[in-house]
Structure 1
Amino acid sequence: MKKIIVYIVSIGISYFALGCKNDPLDITPDGRITMEDVWKDAIRTEAFLNTVYQFVPGYFMSYGYFETISGLSDESYYKEGIGIAWANGSLSPNNNFVNDFYNNCWSGIRYANVFIENIDRAQVTNENNRGLFKAEAKILRAFYYLELIKQYGPMPVIDKEIAVDFNFTSLKRPTFQENVDFIVRDLDDALAESRLPIRITVGSQGGRVTRAIAHAIKSQALLYNASPLWNSQDAANPEGDISKWAAAAQASKEAIQELTKNDEYKLYSNYGDYFLRGYDVVPQPQDRETIMETGGGSRTHFITMNNIPSKTGVDRAGATPTQELVDSYDMQATGLPAILGYNDANHLDPIISTASGYNENAPYVGRDPRFYASIWYNGASYDNIRGNIHTVETFTGGADQMLRTEVNANTGTGYYLRKFIDPMIQVSERSNASFKKYRLAEIYLNFAEAANEAGVDISLAYEAINTVRRRADMPDIAAGLTKEEFRDRIRRERRVELFLEEHRFWDVRRWKIIDQVDKLVTGMEITQVSPNNYVYTRFVVQRRASWQDKYLIFPLPSSELSNVPDFSDNQNPGW
């Protein structure tokens, strides 16, 4: 019987810690088949590849008690759960209450390595599939590595099974660049496989990785590698290594070119409706924007856990948007930012753009259509449900009033979540909303950011960001901005376009601005003076302790420090 070492799973059940005894890879679940038997049988070989897929983490509302990670950023606020724990600074090497990506990703890497090392000698039903299967495993390995290093920083590069007598003292933490180089090599190898499809069009193959997914991972990996967190800046290079930004821009440009060829991928026509549907795996899909969907909890639960109290069956308000998020939406008529920033550290004195057309006495009028597709605000119509139209009332004394207390059913910020919630169905009905792990709009925004920072293809960078804005019926951003001005507009665009999609939490880290944006969040208290006449008062909702530099990356789990000596000597900064 061939023995396989569990080598990184504690790095979870530790890929580094366990020996070969009772290894689940020694036999298949029936307790009789050896690993050698797996590779001698085409069906079992394919089944093993399916196992590599099983460790893709849950996202969306898979955190805490059906919570989203947005409550750990300045996008939204939770009155309880992981939002409170995060605000209190409870994260530690012994307490990662956010997620278990560490274990899942190392498990996925381990199984991918075993598959990649054995597929060349394994039996396959169709010889043409051998290269395709290897490409899938390499994309998955790249995916798992990227998810790990985003959260924990550089990880040892292990691309083979580890022998029983492996010397763990030889494992060293590489640079982030070396990790990204490894990820890119895997993805380029996969993209060189001509049989790898650009998308899946057969339902029985739904969920398998594609060329589009490989491009999306590469785009994001190189963008993160170029960002300030991992792109050292000094007196000689105040903006870091520009070539990293150029590489990121080129990867995203190539991705856009291949994905949009013949309209294979294109932005969905309606921004709001896009998030109310699932990805359709058919030859001619209506949704050509989604590149990868993942699990993330019951969609029915999402509606009951993130809704307004006047709707029967609602459990809690959930992720209530912050005033900072509301302030980030431009004005539609002018296309200009409504709020440019704040005059004070508490975000209670906004800097209003007088040229934008924003009226602080009617703050929800004339905003970017994505605002109305993402947020329920005072005066919003909760659409027609079987003949009933509900007007949202977040003013004091209103049906959906904002409460600063710990009453979970009511918002603590003055807003409720709209995105991913179909207002045309009852709370008890199932939603088709799905989490979009990767989609085409992100790659447009990745390209715009990287091109601007690299100083290349600037006209194409404007066209990329304007393509995203046009879908939302927003005016183009006029060309001619300085690099710094365009950077600000790109970051604003990412914030509103990708709200609740798990980008903001990581973006503020890779940009190294958590000390600027994560100290507190604010809300809006509304007092009704008379019908359609209100007084708006900003207030601090929550002050947070998780904004120091050590929170730029998560601490390595204490359980792993003894398994790999270099981990013990190189725990992440501040932990």
Structure 2
Amino acid sequence: MKKILFLTFAALLMVVSCKKDPLDQTPDGKITLEEVFTDKDRTEAYLSTAYSRIPDYFWKYSFFAFLAGITDEAKDSDVGNNAGNIASFWNTGSLSLSTNPLEAYGGQGKGISRYVTYWSGIRDCNVFLANIPKASVANEDYRKRFTAEAKVLRSFYYLELIKQFGGMPIVDKPFEVTFDYASLKRPTFQECVNFIVKNCDEAIAEPQFPLRITLETERGRFTKAVAYAIKSQALLYNASPLWNPTNDVAKWTASANASKEAIAALAATGQFALHPNYGNYFLNQSDLSPSPGDKETIFEINEASNGTFSVINSIPSKPGMFKAGSCPSQELVDAYDMQINPIAGGVAGEPAILGYSDADHLQPIINNSGPGPASGYARARPYVGRDPRFYATVWFNGAQYDNINGAIHTIETFQGGADQLIKNPPNRANTHTGYYLRKFIDPRIQSNQPHNSRWKKYRLAEIYLNLAEAENEANGPTAAAYAAVNVVRNRSQMPNLPVGLDKDQFRVRVRRERRVEFAMEEHRFWDVRRWKILDQTDKVVTGMEIIKDPITGAFTYNRFVTERRNAWTDKYLIFPIPLGEASIIPDFDLHQNPGW
């Protein structure tokens, strides 16, 4: 066998058991692992090390770039202006066995190399779990809680890993020096999910593992609620078309049951509930107390930035602003239903745009005629009466941006306006789509002031929509499926979905709900993959060019293609196993992901 130190996979996972071996040391090289776990403070510190592998998300991709910029949610304004931007590489189809655009180009945060990061986290959890039974801790209750935390943390790393790369070897203990890495076999996605669910269930069953965090000193620790969220997401992915090609209904049933169980444990107890204000929810970190104002957040990651964030992903009128960032797409705008129907006899809450009659998305199918109720959408008033989540997510022409130089600013994306779209060529500061991002951005924050947004990695709304999707696929649009999606809509003052939808119609509506509820939150990137609709969503991104009549002041709205992409074929559904790993482990090479 090749020497272990030359193997990438082995170097990531190996923690040897021989005390005399020089690798059996903590990073400072001064004490052995055995000595670490004889001290209660060092034991807790090692668990903190396992937590430290959780990577950054949010705006930490490349230079203040969101993952949304490589989905149909947005176009990144660095495209065409910064050759090192991840979107520039991704959209040209640069993903390969040796190159991953999400990892290779100027990442801002930690853990940018996801494959390495997740395996490092699994290794740390395995070391901790192998040693915690005999480790020195303050009391036995701590030992039980720490064990549950490490099991859920390992589940987190495994879920994030397999979402991106597919089934990975199930490793539940540290490797010995003599371990033969060539013997590793690649399990199925189902087997990995079984392992994740088993770990989560064991943690949930532990009485010393809290349901939620109520002390500021414990911020960032995992809980039973996190275990429920991971289990819910893992089983939903496992039931989805990408990993369930035969549409095994039993998988959907397991997914629905897991989310029902989670909601019963979280929302039904009164300890978790949807936040009353969707827009404000994303502007502040969660408050930790026995009776918090924010009961929706299950787990958030500290992504607080320096003052630079307040002048990025913003508008040109804001002093100091120099990058428009992830500009929402016309496709995202089209996904928002109508909240109010201004047409007499129309029905509120209907989709505005049903789809497109052309491949370039320039001919929208407007929901104002046909067998269904008219939505009330009008080409001349495209931003009137929409879902309140639209106004909380997108800055559009005519929107009121608060507090620029002490005054209310009306956004002007029309040609010649203060925040105008510039098409040929687009620059870095002005929108590429006719829209700017509002979600996560507090307009009250002045230039160069810190921005305190936190990344809501798991929140209660996800579990509700997981349930709605899985329940519909398992049993059709039952009362439970309707109730789950309607509670999310009602939070944003949207009416219930219409009764009488069939299974296919309900599926379309739930997918729309996920798109608008989780806009820019990284769900869309994975959702279109697990649904296997990448070829329908990722070929083009469009925007809206607005012309203002100098005499009447009336606006003309013209759709246009702002970007064509080359990363939409089926091989982009799952990332390739890195070349170095496939060359080390024969089973990886034999079972490389499809298309690679």
Q: What amino acid is the match of 2:479?
A: S
The residue number in structure 1 matching 2:595 is: 574
The residue number in structure 2 matching 1:292 is: 299
Q: Deviations over 1:431-457 (max 9, x none)?
A: 221111000001100000000000168
Question: What is the 5 A alignment of 1:515-526?
Answer: 515-526=535-546
The residue number in structure 1 matching 2:98 is: 94
Q: Secondary structure at the match of 1:320?
A: strand
**Alpha-carbon distance in 2 for matches of 1:196, 1:505:** 32
Distance 1:519-1:302 versus aligned 2 partners, 3 A rule = same
Q: Secondary structure at the match of 1:400?
A: coil
The residue number in structure 2 matching 1:476 is: 496
**Alpha-carbon distance in 1 for matches of 2:250, 2:5:** 35
In the alignment, which of 360, 372, 376 is matched to residue 346 of structure 1? 360
The residue number in structure 1 matching 2:25 is: 27
In the alignment, which of 466, 472, 483 is matched to residue 486 of structure 2? 466
**Alpha-carbon distance in 1 for matches of 2:385, 2:500:** 25
The residue number in structure 1 matching 2:398 is: 379
Q: Secondary structure at the match of 1:108?
A: helix
The residue number in structure 1 matching 2:462 is: 442
The Cα shift of 1:387 comes to 3.7
Distance 1:388-1:252 versus aligned 2 partners, 3 A rule = same
**Alpha-carbon distance in 2 for matches of 1:468, 1:8:** 50
The residue number in structure 1 matching 2:414 is: 395
Give the structure-1-normalised TM-score.
0.95
The residue number in structure 2 matching 1:319 is: 326
**Alpha-carbon distance in 2 for matches of 1:17, 1:161:** 6
Q: Is the 8 A contact 2:476 2:502 kept in 1?
A: no
Q: Deviations over 1:183-219 (max 9, x none)?
A: 0000001011111111111111110000100000000
Question: What is the 5 A alignment of 1:111-260?
Answer: 111-233=124-246, 240-260=247-267
Q: Deviations over 1:165-199 (max 9, x none)?
A: 11222211111000000000000010111111111
Unmatched runs of 5 consecutive residues or more in structure 1: 234-239
Give the structure-2-normalised TM-score.
0.92
4+ residue segments displaced more than 6 Å: 5-9, 16-25
Q: Deviations over 1:116-166 (max 9, x none)?
A: 111111111112111111100000000000000000000000101111111
Q: Is the 8 A contact 1:13 1:103 kept in 2?
A: no
The residue number in structure 1 matching 2:573 is: 552
Q: Secondary structure at the match of 1:536?
A: strand
1:561 aligns with 2:582: yes
**Alpha-carbon distance in 1 for matches of 2:536, 2:25:** 52
In the alignment, which of 34, 37, 43 is matched to residue 36 of structure 1? 34
**Alpha-carbon distance in 2 for matches of 1:18, 1:567:** 23
**Alpha-carbon distance in 2 for matches of 1:110, 1:23:** 18
**Alpha-carbon distance in 1 for matches of 2:381, 2:332:** 17
Q: Deviations over 1:344-381 (max 9, x none)?
A: 00100000000000001110111001100000000111
The residue number in structure 2 matching 1:236 is: none
**Deviation larger for 433-442 or 561-570:** 561-570
Q: Is the 8 A contact 1:10 1:16 kept in 2?
A: no
The Cα shift of 1:485 comes to 0.2
Q: Deviations over 1:300-320 (max 9, x none)?
A: 433322011111111200000
Question: What is the 5 A alignment of 1:6-85?
Answer: 10-11=8-9, 13-15=11-13, 26-79=24-77, 80=79, 81-85=85-89
Q: Secondary structure at the match of 2:299?
A: strand
Unmatched runs of 5 consecutive residues or more in structure 2: 80-84, 104-112, 341-347, 369-373
Q: Is the 8 A contact 1:8 1:17 kept in 2?
A: no
**Alpha-carbon distance in 1 for matches of 2:547, 2:420:** 10
The Cα shift of 1:427 comes to 2.7
Q: What amino acid is the match of 2:203?
A: A
Q: Secondary structure at the match of 2:176?
A: coil
Q: What amino acid is the match of 1:363?
A: P
Distance 1:304-1:195 versus aligned 2 partners, 3 A rule = same
The Cα shift of 1:393 comes to 0.4
**Alpha-carbon distance in 1 for matches of 2:57, 2:233:** 17
Q: Secondary structure at the match of 2:447?
A: coil
**Alpha-carbon distance in 2 for matches of 1:106, 1:192:** 26
The residue number in structure 1 matching 2:389 is: 370
**Alpha-carbon distance in 2 for matches of 1:313, 1:12:** 47
Q: What number of residue pairs does the alignment pair up?
A: 565
Q: Secondary structure at the match of 2:12?
A: coil
1:307 aligns with 2:327: no
Q: Secondary structure at the match of 1:14?
A: helix
Q: What amino acid is the match of 1:40?
A: T
Aligned identity (percent) is 56
Q: Is the 8 A contact 1:8 1:16 kept in 2?
A: no
The Cα shift of 1:76 comes to 0.3
**Alpha-carbon distance in 1 for matches of 2:332, 2:238:** 26
Q: What amino acid is the match of 2:506?
A: F
**Alpha-carbon distance in 2 for matches of 1:16, 1:170:** 15
